[in-house]
Amino acid sequence: MKWGRMVLAGVLLAGLGIAVWWSNRQEKAKEGQPAADAAPKILAISADSVKQVQIVHRGEDPITVQFSAAGKWEMTSPQPLPADPVAVAALTSTASRLDSERVVDPNVTDLKAYGLAPALIGVNFTTKDGKTSKLLIGENTPEGSAVYAKLDGDPRLFTMASSFKSTFDKEAKDLRDKRLLPFTQDKLSRIEITAQKQTYEFVKKGENEWQIDKPKAMRADNNQADDLMQRLKNADMDLSGVQDEKKIAAGFAAAAPLAIAKITDQDGTKTLEIRKSKDDYYAKSSAVAGIYKVSKVLGDGLDKPVDAYRNKKIFDFGFSDPTRIEVTDGAKTSIYSKAGETWTSNGKKMDSTSVQAFIDRLRDLAATKFADAGFTTPVVTLTVVSNQGKQHEQVEIAPAASGGNFLARHGGDASFYELEAKTVMELRQAVGDVREAQPEKKK
């Protein structure tokens, strides 16, 4: 009796296993497949395969962009211009996944009733193999949340989301490259700015490191220099509103010069000139024909003195941990060395908390302003070794000749950093607070 039950249970278990296996197999087969009731795609073209896009608004001349042999998108009509690769990518990526909301008519005959004969917007995609797909976009549906659409050669009439219509409803100004100063960021080697009656120049020293080279050698604030680079990279022409080229050119001619930027990359030097008249900002670029309005953000962002880009920090070691610090204050010299996690001085183990407080004080040491003269006899000299021994910095601090504050000199800098007397007092106090480590208590 028991053997019979066991056999029966085995058969049932085997059947259940087969059923689960078959179910899992069916589910796996369905993966990546649309649901049975899913609305069909209108268009699905690989974005990488598209070599030309043409947009035709009813009654207007076509707008055409092509992928050139040089590997760049270019506008060929209504006039030859560089195209904005990001704007074109929005068109091609949408064409790769253009879903309908529903099929209105599987075999539509009266296209005119839906605004499709002729279409309000026609979008032609030509792929690298020479095939063309033509998308017809018509009127909004009565509810207003969708539009009628049809693929030329396909008898079906679809509705699709209004957002897709917005993607394709572009004018030439939307698809042209609006950059006034195109350059290759990682090939940028030099930036020159003329503003506020000064001309100053940045030279790139490393991947993310800048040095002010003119009017004299000065340490640059890398964050501010990168900010300037991004501002120039994003310098776009303002094409909003009606573009009256003659009026804009006249405005530029009458406006006062505000700033001139020059950048140098692997293609040479390009120049951008900004002028201002009341609340209007105008720009002329050596890289792009014509004169254009630009934003206040760009204009005011370039209208800065050289001091706005200088590094106010006295030391460069930042978050790199020092391994050696030498301090001379008057006749007393103290040397602290780090091995592993232990700081020592004169062979004695030092309290790591007090040493760290001193390092933090050095790290935060910053100028209130800059000076070109007034440095007297140094009273404090600081030497910091960091970055695994690769970076050596020496800073001298002296009373300012003209008042109660102090001036600091970093390395061979030609100018000085002004420090408040209170800051120097707190620095000296932090040095005095560095103490020996307490002996470990015996257990």
**Pair of tokens at residue 91:** 């068109």
pLDDT at residue 439 above 80? yes
Q: pLDDT digit string (tens) for 180-191? A: 999 999 999 999
Domain 41-175 shares a fold with domain 324-432: yes
What's the rounded Cα separation, in Å, for the pair 345 and 336?
5
- pLDDT confidence of residue 15: 55
Question: Given pLDDT bands bounded at 50, 70 and 90, which one contains residue 403?
Answer: confident
Lowest mean pLDDT segment, chosen from 86-100, 239-253, 358-372, 423-437? 239-253
pLDDT at residue 206 above 90? no
pLDDT at residue 171 above 50? yes
DSSP designation for 181: S
pLDDT at residue 336 above 70? yes
**Pair of tokens at residue 402:** 């003209």
Residue ranges of the domains in the chain? 41-175, 185-309, 324-432
- pLDDT confidence of residue 13: 55
Taking each helix axis from N to C terminus, what angle separates 352-364 and 421-432, rounded to the nearest 10 degrees?
160
Rounded to the nearest integer, the mean pLDDT of the chain is 91
Question: Given pLDDT bands bounded at 50, 70 and 90, which one contains residue 22?
Answer: low
Report the percent of the chain where pLDDT is more than 90.
Answer: 82
In which order are the strands placed within the sheet that holds 348-349?
348-349, 342-345, 332-339, 324-329, 380-386, 391-399, 406-410, 416-419, 369-371
- pLDDT confidence of residue 30: 45
318-328: average pLDDT = 93
Give the residue among 60, 59, 82 at the shortest CA–CA distance from 71.
Answer: 82
Q: pLDDT digit string (tens) for 390-399? A: 999 999 999 9
279-286: average pLDDT = 96
Report the percent of the chain where pLDDT is more than 70.
Answer: 91
195-217: average pLDDT = 92
250-254: average pLDDT = 96
77-82: average pLDDT = 94
- pLDDT confidence of residue 54: 98
Peptide bond into 215 cis (omega under 30): yes
Three-state DSSP at 22 gives: helix
Lowest mean pLDDT segment, chosen from 47-61, 246-260, 411-425? 411-425
Fold adopted by 324-432 = Immunoglobulin-like (2.60.40)
pLDDT at residue 242 above 80? no
What's the rounded Cα separation, in Å, for the pair 244 and 180?
18
108-126: average pLDDT = 96
Question: Given pLDDT bands bounded at 50, 70 and 90, which one contains residue 401?
Answer: very high
Lowest mean pLDDT segment, chosen from 172-176, 190-194, 438-442? 438-442
CATH classification (class only), 41-175? mainly beta
For residue 66, CA distances in Å to 51, 408, 426 come to 6, 58, 65
Structural contact between residues 133 and 125, judged by C-beta atoms closer than 8 angstroms: yes
Instruction: List, as own/partner pairs, every contact residues 391-399 make where C-beta atoms lie below 8 angstroms and the sequence separation is at least 24, other chains included.
Output: 391/316, 391/317, 391/320, 393/315, 393/316, 393/317, 395/314, 395/315, 397/424
Answer with the residue of higher pLDDT: 38 or 413.
413
Question: Given pLDDT bands bounded at 50, 70 and 90, which one contains residue 402?
Answer: confident
- pLDDT confidence of residue 24: 59
- pLDDT confidence of residue 21: 56
Q: pLDDT digit string (tens) for 28-64? A: 544 444 444 568 999 999 999 999 999 999 999 999 9
pLDDT at residue 367 above 80? yes
What's the rounded Cα separation, in Å, for the pair 159 and 139?
10
